[in-house]
Amino acid sequence: MTTLGTASAEPGEIDTGRLEVGETRDGSSFGLPVAVINGAEPGKTLYMQAASDGDELNGVGVISRVVPRLDPAELSGTILIVGIVNYHAFQVAEHRNPIDDTKMNRAYPGNENGTSSERIAAATFDVGTRADLILDLHQGSTSRMIDEVRVRCGKRHRLYEDCLELAKAFDCGYVLDQKGPDGQLARAAPDEGVPTVDPELGGCVGWDEESIRKGVDGVFNVLTHYGFLDGTFELTRQTRANSFEQYGAPGGGLVRLTKDLGDRVSRDEVLFELTTPFGEPKDSVTADTDGILWRTRRLPQVASGEYVCSVGTDVDSY
């Protein structure tokens, strides 16, 4: 019997339930939606979670499509899922938890007696560290971003190669390999011995079906590669950026990008032009180094210094 919150499944069974983490402002207890898929055969344990950032819904799209396709009779091992992590932010479709104005993915490993976000982080960290592998499904919030997988443990970590392999198995085609800030699940869980990556499934308001499809494929690739499902998955080379450069607007106006997401950019090549509301050219901004256009703002209007785009740099493949 495998139990997660109120969900319990014998080998060959699936169950859903709630993982209680506290009370809302009216004193009602609340719980995160959870699922346990207990394979008929023994094997590894995978933990997946979505909506750690409350406006990042593609991961919720992935899980809601993956679970109905999983047959525990055909599974070796166990899948533990928290379908919506940032309960309070999800309710209001915001990025950060409105109860403590905190970003969940800076609160790991959490604290069961701490702030609202730290309590949720602690509860989900307890689940994640029961597993052999973790997928923490994110996206570039509501900005526009390529589909990629982030390896956040840092190149000197003892689980670095394991995290790289997990990113490769997810097979988005692009990997960001850069040590993340403190408090990320993908940094805290490797310290407990669990290889962890953040699939970053595009960026949109609501759902992006193309990014969700890549996420669904990624989960099944991982399940096949690590022996949860029969079959073989051929690992292929991933294009890897090892850092980022961000570009801001030199003045106010309307931005016109000259490249598409995923395009190669060369040093001194124009990244975007800035015009007045009447289309009069004001300025243009060039790339400082070679790279790949990785992420851009969604809205065309900018103020001086406002974020416009990011270029993934130090690009290689592995």
Q: DSSP letter at 146?
A: -
96 in contact with Zn ion (CB under 5 A): no
Stretch that binds Zn ion, among 46-54, 117-125, 265-273, 307-315 (CB under 5 A): 46-54
| Between 38 and 142, CB nearer to Zn ion | 142
Q: Which sign, positive or negative, has the C-alpha torsion 222, 226, 229, 233?
A: positive
Question: What pairing do the DSSP bridges indicate for beta strands 243-248 and 147-151?
Answer: unpaired
| Between 53 and 177, CB nearer to Zn ion | 53
Question: What pairing do the DSSP bridges indicate for beta strands 76-82 and 270-275?
Answer: unpaired
- Work out how close the CB of 13 gets to Zn ion at its nearest, in angstroms, rounded to a whole number: 31
Q: How far apart are CA 106 and CA 171, in angstroms?
A: 26
- Work out how close the CB of 172 gets to Zn ion at its nearest, in angstroms, rounded to a whole number: 15
Instruction: Tell me which residue of 111, 113, 115, 123 sits closest to 98, measured CA to CA.
Output: 115
- Work out how close the CB of 142 gets to Zn ion at its nearest, in angstroms, rounded to a whole number: 11
136 in contact with Zn ion (CB under 5 A): no
103 in contact with Zn ion (CB under 5 A): no
Stretch that binds Zn ion, among 71-79, 138-146, 248-256, 294-302 (CB under 5 A): 138-146
Question: What pairing do the DSSP bridges indicate for beta strands 196-201 and 243-248?
Answer: unpaired
201: helix, coil or strand? Answer: strand
| Between 59 and 253, CB nearer to Zn ion | 59
138 in contact with Zn ion (CB under 5 A): yes
Q: Under rule CB under 5 A, which residues in 54-73 are in contact with Zn ion?
A: 56
Under rule CB under 5 A, how many of the chain's residues touch Zn ion? 3
302: helix, coil or strand? Answer: strand
Asked if residue 4 lies in contact with residue 47, where contact means CB atoms within 8 angstroms, the answer is no
- One DSSP character per residue, 3-55 reads EETTEEE-TTEEEEEEEEEEE-TTS-EEEEEEEEEE-SEEEEEEEEEE-SSTT
Stretch that binds Zn ion, among 21-29, 108-116, 132-140, 147-155 (CB under 5 A): 132-140
- Work out how close the CB of 60 gets to Zn ion at its nearest, in angstroms, rounded to a whole number: 12
Q: Under rule CB under 5 A, which residues in 191-220 are in contact with Zn ion?
A: none
Using the structure block, give the residue that is written with the tokens 């104005």: 101
| Between 72 and 218, CB nearer to Zn ion | 218
- Work out how close the CB of 137 gets to Zn ion at its nearest, in angstroms, rounded to a whole number: 9
187 in contact with Zn ion (CB under 5 A): no
118 in contact with Zn ion (CB under 5 A): no
Helix (H) or strand (E) holding 244: strand 243-248
Contact pick of 7, 33, 51, 53 for Zn ion (by CB under 5 A)? 53
| Residues near Zn ion (CB under 5 A) | 53, 56, 138
